Structure 1
């Protein structure tokens, strides 16, 4: 039996071959292969777990080799593979029968009693094993559901060391669990609207609580339908944060392909709940303004994912965005464009997916009263300018929707359920037409899917010259107009769609954002 484990590093990680040699000598356990402190401590946990599970620990000198030898091995997930490798070597030494020469991935932390605990990174480990041709794995019951979601993987869910050892030679006990059906693993209460699935609406996150603010709600509906980035700015207490926090209630559930990568990232971060399989609900991350650059990008010894990767295929909401460090805001530019982030640590490099939708809320100035009728702004022109300089031109150029918000005490409300109906139409059209959201259209796809008539072309050219739009800004207007047309069920972009798109697109200077 060939036993493999997994050493997580970044998004990929590496498979580790576990080999055991029993030889004459003073009884001891030696581990070679760049094992860290947690792996070396496995010797004592493994010894106690084996004895407390009713097995005899070998009375010989035990040499455990973890290869490749130049790769550092970290984490408590090596407990179970080391124990099974020792028991397997002992059984082979005491028997003359033939044993199956198959390969199995093993991950799990052992208690002294022999019971198993969950470990992080199981979904990524199973995916890496499948890519290497290993289609069986033994993990704890708490990790089994996420492992089964890797297509083709056969999983044995073990509660303790004895269960795991009994399954080691019986392939019929392994269960294949993944399915390609888009309706599989839907969360409880999922709603089907025209073939597009949405999560159950939580009462405290329903747009019905937003009084008035029709233009802001409309902007959020467009952003949800097409995946466009959005900046809402206005005085304190005007409702911008309240509305943006409800954004997740109008987002459709993730497709199976999207859910696979999201589940893998959250498993690597140790954020996947026990017994959870696929994360079908779109992530919504809301980091604090004090978040460090490493906390946003990711990093650390094992290159764990940061906030932008945890928001992959979901939403990154920066409340009081101007209070974030300037370096943190500028760091967002590259992943917003590329959909990924490259991290380098200790001579190794990993690439995390980071295709997120950016929502930002900000006050108009440090005191919050700039340009608000009836309120006195206490900020100097210099302080207001420095406040908005954090939003550099290149960053704002990647934000298609910029909307001022004012306080409204009266007006109509619309529920999240009503907003979803048009969003479902737009999402289904985009999936059928190009297989992705409009915000991700390439330059060639913009030409193919966003044609304009003569009047619309003339209007866009005039606005582009008047406002000195960049090429990215022009593309953003076209993609935004395409989304608006999809929301209205129109096949072609009309002039009114383009005018609405341009109205959401403000110039990218520090003060003109406020003045227009």
Structure 2
């Protein structure tokens, strides 16, 4: 029987073979194979856990080999694999027999023999399954995520004794799933054939007052996965509305959820006993975030905010307060949907297909363009403020909306989240049936095929292109945006009214028109 563990590095990680040799000599435990401090310390945890679980620790010299030998092994997730390998070798030497093929083992041991949950279990199970390993022993709290890997038979252990009993009895493993289980969160609702999470208080748009243009922009963005920039005076409701954006997003498909679950498992952010991350991630980093915090990095290439937001939303509130280097590094991931991180001769590629939402003031003091307040910023200060975004970054944002100051006496109430979801669901259903991808990700060839305009719609678009000097990327953005608006209306053809609304969101207004470069 071969026992494997897993060494997380980047998005991929590596399987590690655990081998034990019992030989004559002064009783001691040696660990070879480029183990870090946490792995070497596991020798003492392992000894105490074995004895406190009612087993006898072998009175021989124990050599534990972790291979491949040139791969650095980090973390406490090797504890259980080391302990089971020692017990299996000792028992086999005493005449016991073990059946079954190779098994993946992960878990951190307490001195009592109880197991603590570890990170990267979903990633480990996925990697093991692709290598032909169909059994795994993990802590009980991690068992749910491992069971979501197709074909993997899982045993969730609460202690070292439980894990050893599973090692000697294959019948204790749960049956492997032939297909990925379609886990659905509690309270999920179906709208127009598309599943949405239950509406929470933090996702209710009925609380947003007197901002119909912003709410419409967010509704379109949710339907087509388009990026949004909202700018307006402080207190006008930008953040309030954008924080509720996740309420408009449908549940991830099972395929999308697998990659998002893997990333959160690698980061150690997957909630206990959650099988699959079906609710789209919503990440809202602070303005002091570093480039490494946003794009990822560190010794083991941990995922950053843009990868944690994969298949979900990255919301930058007060976006102009972020470092220019942070804002500019978003350009490549927005275009490619992935990011490559290189550290010490190794590199990894994380998926980073996220939806960018940005909210900002129109100037440093926030009063530029206000009818009731005076702006104290000079023209140069306003220009420098907007230059932090750069024209190439703004060119990748299909929806730009100026948020007006609501009237103090206004009592206009937005539609509820449940009502706003209906057109979103209609558009998402159409996109899944068309190509299985969102409109924001259409290639140039797919834009020509599915976003063709004719007649008065084409004439209007050509006039706007000439008048506003749209770039080629801006033209593609308008076409994709109009395709989403048409899908929301249930129209197979893109009409002039759809193009007109798309241009109104793509066009520049307020301070943005002065400094965006279009």
TMscore range, shorter length: over 0.9
Q: 1:321-375 CA distances to partner (integer Å, 9 max, x unpaired)?
A: 0010000000000000000010011211001110000000000000000111121
Q: 1:6-61 CA distances to partner (integer Å, 9 max, x unpaired)?
A: 00001100000000000000000000000000000000000000001110000000
2:34 matched residue in structure 1: 34
2:107 matched residue in structure 1: 108
Counterpart check, 1:318 vs 2:313? no
Separation of aligned partners in 1, 2:5 and 2:81: 6
1:384 matched residue in structure 2: 382
Counterpart check, 1:158 vs 2:157? yes
2:217 matched residue in structure 1: 219
Alignment of 1:486-505 (within 5 A): 486-505=487-506
Offset of 1:455 from its aligned partner? 2.1
2:461 matched residue in structure 1: 460
Offset of 1:179 from its aligned partner? 6.7
Separation of aligned partners in 1, 2:404 and 2:216: 15
Separation of aligned partners in 2, 1:414 and 1:452: 31
Separation of aligned partners in 2, 1:419 and 1:511: 28
Separation of aligned partners in 2, 1:307 and 1:278: 19
Q: Secondary structure at the match of 1:370?
A: coil
Q: 1:154-201 CA distances to partner (integer Å, 9 max, x unpaired)?
A: 10111101111111132221113547477x321111111121011111
Counterpart of 1:197 (choices 183, 195, 203) is: 195
Deviating more after overlay: 200-209 vs 345-354? 200-209
1:138 matched residue in structure 2: 137
CA contact (8 A) 2:104 2:135 kept: yes
Counterpart check, 1:432 vs 2:433? yes
Q: Secondary structure at the match of 1:175?
A: coil
2:399 matched residue in structure 1: 401
Separation of aligned partners in 2, 1:172 and 1:190: 34
TM-score, scaled relative to structure 2: 0.97
Residue-pair matches, total: 514
Counterpart check, 1:127 vs 2:126? yes
CA contact (8 A) 1:2 1:101 kept: no
Q: 1:125-173 CA distances to partner (integer Å, 9 max, x unpaired)?
A: 0000011110110000000000000111110111101111111132221
Structure 2 segments unaligned to the other structure (5+ residues): none
Offset of 1:91 from its aligned partner? 1.1
CA contact (8 A) 1:6 1:14 kept: yes
Separation of aligned partners in 2, 1:174 and 1:100: 13
CA contact (8 A) 2:362 2:511 kept: no
Offset of 1:268 from its aligned partner? 0.6
Q: 1:442-496 CA distances to partner (integer Å, 9 max, x unpaired)?
A: 1111111111113222221221122111111111000000000000010110011
CA contact (8 A) 1:391 1:510 kept: no
1:373 matched residue in structure 2: 371
1:443 matched residue in structure 2: 444
Counterpart of 2:358 (choices 350, 357, 360) is: 360
CA contact (8 A) 2:151 2:179 kept: no
